Chains A and B, each alone.
Chain A
Amino acid sequence: MTAHRTRPLRVRSVGTALGRVDGTEKVTGRATYAADHADGVPGDVLHLWLVQSTIAKGRVVEVRPEHALSHPGVVDVIDHTSAPRLVDTENGELAILQDAAVGFRGQIIALVLAETAEAAREGAALVEVSYEAAAHEAELREDNATYRPDSVNPDLETDTFQGDVDAALREADVVVEQTYRTAYEHNNPLEPHATIAWWGEVDGRATLSMFDSTQGVHGVVASLVPMLGVEPDQIRVRAPYVGGGFGSKGEPHAHVMAAALAARTTNGRPVRLAVTRQQMFSLTGYRTATISRFRLGARSDGTLTAIAHDVLEQSSVVREFAEQTASPTRMMYAAPNRRTTHRLARLDVAVPSWMRAPGEMPGMFAHEVAMDELAVACGVDPIVLRERNEPDLDPETGKPFNNRRLLDCLHRGAERFGWDARPREARTQTDGDWWVGTGVAAATYPAMKTPGNLARVRSLEGGGYAVAIGCVDIGTGARTVLTQIAADALGVEADAVDLSIADTRLPSASVAGGSSGTSSWGSAIVAAAQLFRDDHGASPDPGVETTASAEDDPAAESHAFHSFGAVFAETRVHRWTGEIRVPRLLGVYSVGRVINPVTARSQFLGGLVMGLSAGLFEESYRDSRFGHVVTQDLASYHVASHADVLDVDAEWLEEADEIFTPMGSRGVGEIGIVGTAAAVANATYHATGIRRRSIPLTPDQFLDDPGT
């Protein structure tokens, strides 16, 4: 294993629309998702069902399994008195069934094993639990978000200060001071979380095998190892196909531990757990609601002199997760005086986690609506306003941006969208009974690479190459783009590459998250392939192999790497009913080189749709009296339907960022959701003249009296 300084890739397959290499399996239903596995699972599975607490805080006094156990097919009921012990319980989310404490409503308090899923489910309903309830707090308010975390996700500064914001605001010609809110949101990937787990023994050591629906198999091992008190090589996790995650499968959640613990008790019989959609609303992560207090100070021409963003949000007492909501505010626009802070309410609620573009999504909603308000206040076109506030250097680090093309994105989008024809004034355009308006917002996302990635290249009989890395394709097309990268790095056709992924027996790979996957894994593949060629030449003997990781370009140290984009929305608001529709949505992005235009386009469009959906529909309504989300299915938690998605398009600038990765790419997974809700909100203002600052925007917020 060597670290190799990569050379820029000579692209041939990269940049072309290679069809999905696993497309046939998927459309013919042969792709095996976690719960589908039968081959490779030793013996008949036992079905696991979760029993969840119906109080938000307190203690389990007693779990009475008798009725459940007498139900036909039920094999066992496991509770905190009988569950296998964990050696480390620091991760409060995963340390289930270790004591009687209840930290949130919906927490796993018992497990039922049965011969069929139906029996397990009924058994779970028959388990009788008595509690000692304590008073709980489940509501985020401005007065209870007072806790200052040591850092915010992933390990960013909690607060930042530059200059003197208060003085600058006093002296500013124009001040925008407003509060913006985003709702609780649940990731809701199409495939609910599922795990099959079984224990065995090799050479006298216990082994745990799993098929899991996860964004990172090695991450599952890393989380479980200290808790179960085993070595990494004692756990094997595979995830050949995953039906989406949006961050909710980025780290293992409590159900994975439930499967591991339950399987420990079955003498080697595998255990299958399929989490229900309703259970996902309390067990598999979500995005916190956010309250952003924004203060912008500017000269009369719109030049910013102060930017202050104070965030209130929540986490769980069970495990801390502090969304980095103000992080984009630190680098987005120039201003000498700046301030960002994050404060949390620590609530007796389910554990929040990553959801597509944590930080950037809610933060840029607030920032970009505030910018729109500033544009109106200064009488400046929103695009011109952003031109006036373009920084020379990254305001946060003082480093030059490697490739900051926000203005190019705005200008290209403006041209395609017909921005010039837009009336300056709000509430001036109608079409029949609809108010019509347009809005724009900027998007940004940091370019990230995760260390610790290794790839292996081995020559095969017949001239092909086996390429292996343990990363997961969660439906993004990773299998396809990594095949393209490997082909170009080896200088062969894509069909000469036999790629293996998604197994912890393969070289270690980081999570499919942070839009970092392709950059991280692809760089490792390029490193291994280039080193392979350096060592073994153009015509290697079959069976020789190289494993390598990528060493960063030293030039990377001196730059700030971010992607940028511009989102344009046309919105219609019905003047009688307040209904909101978005007939046009366009995103233009600068993301480095696009490796596969088809799969990248899907990411952009998916991000735009998800941003539209957040802007207009998505809200997890937590009933704070009970402590759980009551809109816990897809009939009451609305995501955009087909009829809501009209003309949505994305394009990107032709470019290559070869300091960042040898492929020239920077990552595309998350930026599409950033800024989109703001563009929609700004367009509703332009349509109606009514400024709303909380998403989702709903018809009741735009009810007027049009009779007059």
Chain B
Amino acid sequence: MRALDYLRPESPAAAVAALVSNPNAKYLGGGTNLVDHLKLGIVSPDELVDISRLPLDDIQEYDDGGGPGLRVGANVRNSDLAAHPVVRSSFPLVARALLSGASGQIRNQATTAGNLLQRTRCVYFQDATTPCNKRVPGSGCSAREGYGRYNAILGASDACVATHPSDLAVALAALDATVVLLGPDGERRLPLAELHRLPGDLPNLDTTLGRSELITGIEIPFSPVAALSTYRKVRDRASYAFALVSVAAAVHLEHGAVRDVRIAWGGVAHKPWRAERAERALVGQQLEPDVIGAAVEEELENAASGDENAYKVTLVRNTTVHTLLQLAEGHR
């Protein structure tokens, strides 16, 4: 048995202070990912700072200098966020992304921040008997030449080909959400697109967060484009599986032409992949299969795959084309 200290801090600032004073402490949210990792021997903190009871569980509309939006506390449970009326009406893709993830029980337990910071499901990362650069830097990457069905096709490195598993993060990436952070030096705001990183030579780092930085909430700006949006997740079984690929999409059409469009992909990279090149190529265009296909091909120009994940290139293309066509027809 590994002894652990368990701390329930009084305030977000006290939580941050606890992590500053103990380099082996970790934040505990709903625990649905971290507790598994403790059991599997992937991480071994000596202190858990349980932030799940801090009063960070509000969902509120705000309207400050940068325009109106919805602020979601870090501790809002995935189920509650998916059921929130404003989320359902203004950000349908967020509700769908959440509901496509995990199971009802896990969603009741999982927090908004924990969801964004969950770690890859790469089977080697989770098997402490095999080499993995993300788990043990420098030990090698078992997935490159191994079980490859879920491997990344975009932005991977020699060191790591893992994908990020969060569905919520993909939806938020499409919406230009912002993450609100509290660190030893106070609060800062980080575009969600900059939260997760590509693996490069340091696949042990999933994000750009400082070690003791606490996510206190996220902010999702209201935008006309979000009204016509959806999240399409493709997987082998109909439920309770991570994405082979997923597509978060939103489109604002004017006289049949694209005025604004958002496309983000899950299951293809070490981070939610915002398909900006494809978006740019589509602005001003009619949403026809060939047009969308060509835009997606542009985004996929640098896609790289092995035998076992080559299908993802076609799959993400098809899924994107189909999803945008559906939106254009008014099906959300």
Contact = CB atoms under 8 A, between A and B. Distances in A.
Interface of A: 54, 71-73, 116, 118-119, 121-122, 125, 433, 576-579, 581, 616-617, 621, 623, 625-626, 630-633, 635-636, 638, 640-644, 696, 698-700, 703, 705-707
Contacts of B2: 118, 122
B239 interface: yes
| CB-based closest 6 A-B pairs | A700-B311, A643-B239, A118-B1, A643-B238, A576-B322, A707-B289
A577 B1 contact: no
Given A578-B315, A636-B123, A699-B244, A122 B237 contact: no
B130 interface: yes
A626 B130 contact: yes
A641 B318 contact: no
B188 interface: no
Contacts of B311: 699-700, 703
B301 interface: no
B241 A623 contact: no
B315 A577 contact: yes
A467 B124 CA distance: 52
A625 B123 contact: no
Contacts of B124: 630
Nearest to B241: A638
Contacts of B172: none
B23 interface: no
A623 B239 contact: no
Contacts of B321: 576, 707
Given A631-B123, A703-B318, A625 B145 contact: yes
B138 interface: no
Contacts of A636: 121, 123
Contacts of A700: 244, 311, 315
Contacts of A642: 239
B293 A577 contact: no
A617 B123 contact: no
A617 B146 contact: no
A623 B146 contact: yes
Nearest to B288: A707
A185 to B, nearest CB: 15
12 contacts: A577-B315, A578-B315, A581-B238, A630-B124, A630-B130, A632-B127, A636-B123, A641-B237, A642-B239, A696-B236, A699-B315, A707-B293
Contacts, number: 98
A72 B241 CA distance: 39
A347 to B, nearest CB: 17
A625 B311 CA distance: 23
Interface in B114-154: 121, 123-124, 126-127, 129-130, 142, 145-147, 149
A120 to B, nearest CB: 9
A119 B1 contact: yes
A707 B1 contact: no
Nearest to A639: B237
A581 B237 CA distance: 8
B173 to A, nearest CB: 21
Nearest to A118: B1
A632 B121 CA distance: 12
A703 B313 CA distance: 11
Contacts of B289: 707
B236 A576 contact: no
B141 to A, nearest CB: 12
B234 interface: yes
B314 A703 contact: yes
Given A623-B130, A630-B130, A641-B238, 19 more contacts: A125-B41, A576-B321, A577-B318, A577-B322, A578-B315, A579-B234, A616-B236, A621-B147, A623-B142, A630-B127, A638-B237, A638-B241, A641-B237, A641-B240, A643-B239, A696-B236, A699-B236, A703-B315, A707-B321
A69 B244 CA distance: 44
Nearest to A624: B146
A122 B3 CA distance: 11
A433 B319 CA distance: 12
Which of B123, B145, B147, B239: most chain A CB closer than 10 A?
A: B123
Contacts of A577: 234, 315, 318-319, 322
A605 to B, nearest CB: 18
A638 B149 CA distance: 14
Interface in B206-240: 234-240
B64 interface: no
A350 B55 CA distance: 50
Nearest to A637: B123
B290 interface: yes
Contacts of A640: 237
B310 to A, nearest CB: 8
Nearest to B126: A633
Nearest to B146: A623
Contact of A706 (B130, B236, B290, B318): B318
A707 B320 CA distance: 12
Contacts of A705: 314, 318
A340 B146 CA distance: 34
Nearest to A53: B129
Interface in B139-193: 142, 145-147, 149
Contacts of A72: 1
Which of B1, B147, B315: most chain A CB closer than 10 A?
A: B1
Which of A71, A631, A640, A703: most chain B CB closer than 10 A?
A: A703
Contacts of B314: 703, 705
A116 B3 CA distance: 13
Contacts of A703: 311, 314-315, 318
Contact of A635 (B1, B121, B293, B319): B121
B239 A638 contact: no
Nearest to A636: B123
B237 A616 contact: yes
A34 B56 CA distance: 43
Given A630-B146, A699-B244, A706-B318, A643 B1 contact: no
Contacts of A632: 123, 127
B317 to A, nearest CB: 9
A54 B237 contact: no
Contacts of A121: 1
A579 B293 CA distance: 20
A96 to B, nearest CB: 19
Contacts of A54: 129
Contacts of A641: 237-241
A122 B146 CA distance: 29
Which of A72, A125, A626: most chain B CB closer than 10 A?
A: A626
Nearest to A106: B129
Contacts of B149: 621
Nearest to A116: B1
A699 B237 contact: no
Which of A125, A633, A707: most chain B CB closer than 10 A?
A: A707
B323 to A, nearest CB: 9
Nearest to A582: B238
Nearest to B313: A703
Nearest to A581: B238
A644 B239 contact: yes
Nearest to A626: B130
Interface in B26-43: 41
A72 B142 CA distance: 34
A621 B151 CA distance: 14
A655 B127 CA distance: 52
A431 to B, nearest CB: 15
B136 to A, nearest CB: 14
A117 B127 CA distance: 20
A698 B129 CA distance: 29
A631 B147 CA distance: 9
Nearest to A638: B237
A623 B237 CA distance: 23
A599 B318 CA distance: 44
A254 to B, nearest CB: 18
A672 B1 CA distance: 44
Contacts of B237: 616-617, 638, 640-641, 643-644
